[in-house]
Amino acid sequence: MKKTLATLTTLAAIGFSAQVQAAKVDVCVFDLLGKSGESFQMAQEWALAAKGWGAEVNLIPRQDEAVADNDFKAGKCDGVFMTAMRARQYNKFAGSIDALGGAPSNVIAQRAISFALDQRNAAKMVTNLGGKKYEVAGISPLGSAFIFVRDKNISSIEKAAGKKFAVLGYDDAQKIMVQRVGAQAVISDVSNFVAKFNNGQVDMVGAPAYAYKPLEIYKGLGNNGAMFNFPVLQVTADFVIRPEQFPVGFGQKSRDWFVKNLPKAMSMINRLEGEIPAKYKMNLSAEDKTKYQKMLRDGRMDMTKRGIYDPAMMSVLKRARCSVEKTNFECSLGGE
């Protein structure tokens, strides 16, 4: 009997040891400011909570998003925090929250993210690509993207014709939409798109308030620039993992944490948007807003047909929009 108990104890110890070892994970975190950035600080809070879910997380800061993604692909990281536009390659459903005009306010974005991360959508968070399994274990808002112009005389989309607009090279939606309005798409990366705006290589750029101070957008605005006070899309960050490297059930516990912390994230975003000087904010007329909403809707539907955006997420976003803005023109229309 003693021998049997000893054997069971040994096996249990071995199993426990293996479980602990498997729960030690490396997570790459993209943040332009490295360890001092808001995203990395959020990841630190998440990593602390993850201990309670059985994971010992080692956070690896990456100031170049492409490097973070490549490290994840190469197996140097078991998980990665990066923008949804780049993470869309792993999960189109989660990565489509950033669709053009999809979440035109922070309130709508919060509803859409909460729904996406709900347990009822757990199956949509898991994908199998090339024989490899991936799971979105969190979505974090970075805020609405606004269009910044170096010359406030570019006071409408029509006046953007022929102007140079910095776009992220890995997001086909941006390139297509910029070309549709007659502007010139200048292929850029998240590490240099604002720098091109600041040094005059491009006339226009889209970015969230989150980037205003860290990337010094005010340098590009100077004394004659402006910001269209009209959100063109919601920028989010996705946390993608290889689920087999994490404890069973980790993904949903992580997603629940992100939902719980959404109000805090939105509060930070609202504060950052409020800190952009009023002198730069160019307000649009109600007529122009509706016109641009229709333009973005047409573009969004086109991108969905092209396979860039996920149709299920487009339905989620429309429900979120119409639950907040019930009288919006699109709420009585089909197509999404």
Residue 330 included in any domain = no
* 197 and 129 within one domain: no
* 151 and 136 within one domain: no
What percent of the chain is predicted at pLDDT more than 90?
Answer: 82
* 65 and 149 within one domain: no
pLDDT bin (cut points 50, 70, 90) of residue 211 is: very high
- Mean per-residue pLDDT for 296-305? 94
Residue 329 included in any domain = no
* 148 and 60 within one domain: no
Residue 180 included in any domain = yes
pLDDT bin (cut points 50, 70, 90) of residue 149 is: very high
- Mean per-residue pLDDT for 51-65? 96
* 99 and 41 within one domain: yes
- Nearest CA to 295 out of 207, 227, 204, 232 is that of 232
DSSP secondary structure of 126-148: EEEETTEEEEEEEEEEEEEEEEE
* 244 and 228 within one domain: no
The DSSP bridge pattern shows strands 233-241 and 79-83 to be antiparallel
Give the separation between CA 328 and CA 336, rounded to whole angstroms. Answer: 14
pLDDT of residue 12 exceeding 80: no
- Report the range of poorest mean pLDDT among 8-22, 49-63, 215-229, 235-249: 8-22
What percent of the chain is predicted at pLDDT more than 70?
Answer: 93
pLDDT of residue 22: 42
pLDDT of residue 264: 94
* 168 and 50 within one domain: no
- Mean per-residue pLDDT for 94-105? 95
Residue 18 included in any domain = no
* 168 and 137 within one domain: no
* 189 and 152 within one domain: yes
pLDDT of residue 308 exceeding 60: yes
Query: Which of residues 164 and 158 earns the better pLDDT score?
Result: 164
pLDDT of residue 238: 98
Residue 10 included in any domain = no
User: Domain containing 218 — which CATH number?
Assistant: 3.40.190.10
Q: Residue with structure tokens 């948007």?
A: 273
Count the domains in the chain.
2
pLDDT of residue 302: 94
pLDDT digits (tens, 9 = 90+) for 66-91: 999 999 999 999 999 999 999 999 99
* 62 and 171 within one domain: no
Chain centroid to CA 184: how far? Answer: 24
pLDDT of residue 3 exceeding 50: no
Contact 198, 132 (CB under 8 A): no
Residue 333 included in any domain = no
User: Domain containing 87 — which CATH number?
Assistant: 3.40.190.170
pLDDT of residue 330 exceeding 70: yes
pLDDT of residue 16 exceeding 60: no
Query: Which of residues 248 and 2 earns the better pLDDT score?
Result: 248
Q: What residue numbers bound the domain in which 316 lies?
A: 144-234+283-322
Residue 131 included in any domain = yes
Burial 146-179 (b: 16+ CB within 10 A, else e): bbbbbeeebeebeebeebbbbbbebbbbbbbbbe
pLDDT of residue 61: 97
pLDDT of residue 321 exceeding 90: yes
- Mean per-residue pLDDT for 250-271? 96
Give the separation between CA 190 and CA 208, rounded to whole angstroms. Answer: 12
CA angle, 316 then 322 then 323, to 5°: 85
* 85 and 183 within one domain: no
* 88 and 49 within one domain: yes
pLDDT of residue 18 exceeding 60: no
Residue 15 included in any domain = no
pLDDT of residue 20 exceeding 70: no
Report the predicted TM-score, pTM, of the whole model to 2 decimal places: 0.89
